[in-house]
Amino acid sequence: MDLGVKGKRVLITGGTRGIGKAITEIFVTEQAKVGIVARNKSELLKVHDDLGVQIYEKDLSKANDRKNLMTEFITCNNGIDILINNVGASHGGSIINTHYGIFEEAMQLNFISAVHLSQLAIQNMKVNQEGTIVNISSIYGREAGGNPTYNASKAALISFTKSLSKEAIKDNIRVNGIAPGAIFHLNEVWKKRIETDPQYLEKYAKERIPAGRLGNPEEIANVVAFLASNKSSWIVGATINVDGGQSHLNF
């Protein structure tokens, strides 16, 4: 399907690995003008070499880095059409044993970065009276099951997505989100689990996911690209579960 995003100016946060890299790849395939941001310079350079995208080395937990990122991207591309707020990380452990400052760190990276970048992007999108923002949250933003700091930040992101969508649509800017379930890519977390128990993935899928397997990053990226395109023009303020039936809530 031609999603009609050829030539669109797309900024993807956390675009060097896992879900973010898969999102980067699909927009490159669709011939969009893609920029990605991350903290790891070597990972950025590898994606640049592989895919030819613009790269920005920034720490999105810092306000000045967010401002500089948006200024640089808009200057380089003469605007922005699509923002994908994907960056995120899990911090701390149980609530009782996690210092409140760790909650603040999680909120800065997982939530405040999306709020701030969305505000900055919308200022430019309003000029053309068109744009889309897709926020990557989690099914654990709706129900218990993950790390408490992560859950709280992703719950805030789901609420923010709905609230911002009502304001932004007046300028023909659509804001939506995706709540992934368990997605497998060989990061440090999954590596440790597999090293501890080689059967971990099989047991996890059997016990928790009706579809019987973990998802893959491309399955999230496909939905992101759809939501960012005009093929989803009547979807506003939704956060869609993409989880193989893993989530338990009825909404």
Q: Provide the annotated active-site residues.
A: 150
Location of structure tokens 């218990």:
144
- Checking 74-79 for CB contacts under 8 A at 24+ apart, the result is 74/124, 76/35, 77/9, 77/33, 77/35, 78/9, 79/9, 79/124, 79/127, 79/128
The token pair at 248 is: 């338990």
Residues in the chain: 251
Taking alpha carbons only, the member of 226, 110, 231, 120 closest to residue 168 is 120
Are 66 and 120 within 8 A, CB to CB?
A: yes
